[in-house]
Chains A and B, each alone.
Chain A
Amino acid sequence: MSQSQTAPQETTQPEMQAGAEVLLRALKDQGVEVIFGYPGGAVLPIYDAIFQQNAIRHILVRHEQAAVHAAEGYARSTGRVGCVLVTSGPGATNAVTGLVDALMDSIPIVCLTGQVPTHLIGNDAFQEADTTGITRPATKHNYLVKRSEDLARVVHEAFYVAKSGRPGPVVIDLPKDILINKAPYTPAPPATALHRSYRPNLIPDGGQIAKAVAALKSAKRPMIYTGGGVINSGQGASDALIKLVRKTGFPITNTLMGLGAYPSNDPQFLGMLGMHGTYEANLAMHGCDVMLNIGARFDDRVTGRLNAFSPDSRKIHIDIDRSSINKNVPVEIPIVADAGLAIEALLAAWDAEPVQVDTAALAKWWQQIDTWRGLDCLKYTQDHAKGAIIKPQYAIQRLYDLTRETGRETFISTEVGQHQMWAAQYFRFDQPKHWMTSGGLGTMGYGLPAAMGVQVAHPDALCIDIAGEASILMNIQEMSTLAQYRLPVKVFILNNQYMGMVRQWQELLHGSRYSESYTAALPDFVKLADSFHGVGLRATSVDQLDDVIREMIASDRPVIADICVDQKENCFPMIPSGAAHNEMILGAEHGNRAPGVTDDGMALV
């Protein structure tokens, strides 16, 4: 390490300010423009400092979990680090779900938590919680600042850790005395300075890239499978991916987290893969002979039964996190690197390698894929008669068509469940960073606050939370935040009065005993929107759907559109737990072709 060898010696003492001032100065230096937070006793000094400045905007949420989800939406739609501020004790514990969500989906967050004064730590003081203990497995890293002189350095380091390598949430626990006492300000280290221990590798190994290209060029049935890593790597990675896919002529599928990295209307795109992925994507994964995984982690929702996952393929895995490699699926050619840099390297090596792809074999492979595609696995039938019930799939499709007609930049977030899968299947994404969903943790209540964070970052864009009536109630209080900051987020509820995905599993796996999955006494969502100073709309039949969507999009206020959909509709295709990709259940349109669920599969989640 060679930092500061040439730097001039400090001759003067660094300037001393109150800890809270130092904190805000460090945040400003890190480029923070917005904090999502909620005040409380332990963080009052920070709120006092926020009051006395204008550089950083504070969005007052209604629940700390929502603060983290909002910061996630902000981060994912901008590529920047999201910033959260909560108080000690319950403030911090409420934030935990959001932190784990960000950890699972690799979203860069810095969460500042208040803490009781250092001399009271461990004494069970009022609103004391062992925040660093609780959040240790919930974060990428966390800090407890116990000395004023560490404060500025820790803040700078937290931002570095949150955004470097595989991004993730970082907590800084701030005892109240540290915020009040004078602390020195130290500027952020230069970008070139090496961290003492955390230095993720970004550059792909040339030898591995050459092996990967040789394997890809030898393929007769190739498949490219990309995930959230491509999105996290930035626009450049998506651009390079499009080049690579076009150049190779290979088929591509995206994971739930990877949607938008490749334009979904492109003929080489086979749709999403996995548990509710398309027939063609899953069968192509099962049948391929060379698989290129870029920035995805062989999640169980993607692989299905591991010992039957793509049994005959040579696998190449590009991931920035070494621990993702060989975790679930052993791979032949691992490449630990940034997705974008690795794709660029593949492109360069592809041109340099004189061997040509077996075009005849590739054409035959595409023929096979087209046969699978011909099945039209996402087919459903919408009755268009006046008064006919709305199919949830049709509602999403119309939402897509009508938002597209407006030409406005559109961001979609979701809650978790059937509506989330239908959104992934029927809304088509053409750009990265426009799709926010809780993929890893599967957090109901994610979508509304996430859309709120997106809207804060993109005030003029159309931000829509595709929701279910059960999930939306988990963070419905954020309607109040939308009203306060005039954030015109649209909540598009596919209301079937069931926790639909729970009901679907009960139907398929538990003898249609719908234990506790029906919500009696739902609120009137139209009146609810009204009471939160928003606009409430409802469609109960197919002839009302387009008008409601148009009115929702045209409104400059927060809107809840309560779309009453077919209660019995299930989400297909589906690979049941414990099944392989080629053991998919298809929907009613295909006669519910199903191999049945095994006892082993019942035990899986």
Chain B
Amino acid sequence: MAIDPTLRSATISVLVENEPGILARVVGLFSGRGYNIDSLTVAPVEDGRNRSRINIVTSGTDMIIQQIKAQLDRLVPVHRVSDLSMEGPHIAREMALIKVIGTGDKRVEALRLAEAFRARVVDATTESFIFEMTGATDKLDAFLDLMRPLGLAEVSRTGVAAIARGTRII
């Protein structure tokens, strides 16, 4: 069998036991084995079973992505591992808080673009806005590119939260 050298991006959701050190285990696995982490989110999922969900966006050849899945799956506190990007359609969203500082035309333009992108103004002064924006990673990237010449000062992004479409659950 030949190795397919094409790199692809993968969004992997991991359901883990919510216990101390679990995030270090997952992150340590990625750094120790030289895998990429493009984005990572983690929070408890309140299902009464003491579990957390970790969403990781990573990239690599298909062989590497399969390895990442298998390596995650053999961690003792890991319940389920799902490569959402391979297992059917999924929704991936991230949220960003974006601070833009400026006055005059640039300020007006920033607000106009924010409306077009459906970003909400959550804080404003005479010289600044903070926009809250939720969307796919590339939509956030596009908005940030537009804000850069308009006084983009600071960004705080959450990283990707993802879930499969339809009735499928991990």
Contact = CB atoms under 8 A, between A and B. Distances in A.
Contacts of A321: 70, 74
Contacts of A133: 21, 24
Given A136-B24, A196-B17, A197-B17, A326 B67 contact: yes
B88 interface: no
User: DSSP majority for the A interface?
Assistant: loop
B25 A325 contact: no
Given A323-B67, A323-B70, A144 B20 contact: yes
B120 interface: no
A132 B19 CA distance: 13
B165 to A, nearest CB: 26
A140 interface: yes
B71 A323 contact: yes
A334 to B, nearest CB: 10
Interface in A344-399: none
A161 B63 CA distance: 27
Interface string A160-190: 0100011000000000000000000000000
Interface stretch (B76-84, B108-116, B128-136, B140-148): B76-84
Contact of B63 (A141, A146, A330): A330
Contacts of A140: 76
A63 to B, nearest CB: 26
A332 interface: yes
Nearest to B1: A330
Contacts, number: 51
A63 B24 CA distance: 29
A331 B76 CA distance: 26
A322 interface: yes
Interface residues of A, number: 25
Contact of B21 (A136, A315, A322): A136
B44 interface: no
Contacts of B63: 326, 330
Interface string A313-348: 001000001110111001110000000000000000
A326 B63 CA distance: 7
A330 B3 CA distance: 7
B169 interface: no
A330 B1 CA distance: 6
Contacts of B28: 136-137
A230 B75 CA distance: 23
Contacts of A331: 1
A208 B70 CA distance: 19
Nearest to B80: A197
Nearest to A196: B17
A140 B71 CA distance: 11
A1 to B, nearest CB: 11
Nearest to B79: A197
17 contacts: A133-B24, A136-B25, A136-B28, A137-B32, A141-B75, A141-B76, A144-B21, A165-B74, A196-B79, A197-B16, A197-B76, A198-B77, A315-B1, A321-B70, A321-B74, A322-B73, A332-B1
Given A136-B24, A137-B32, 20 more contacts: A132-B21, A133-B21, A141-B75, A141-B76, A144-B20, A146-B20, A161-B76, A166-B74, A196-B17, A196-B79, A197-B16, A197-B76, A197-B78, A198-B76, A200-B74, A315-B1, A321-B74, A326-B63, A326-B66, A330-B63
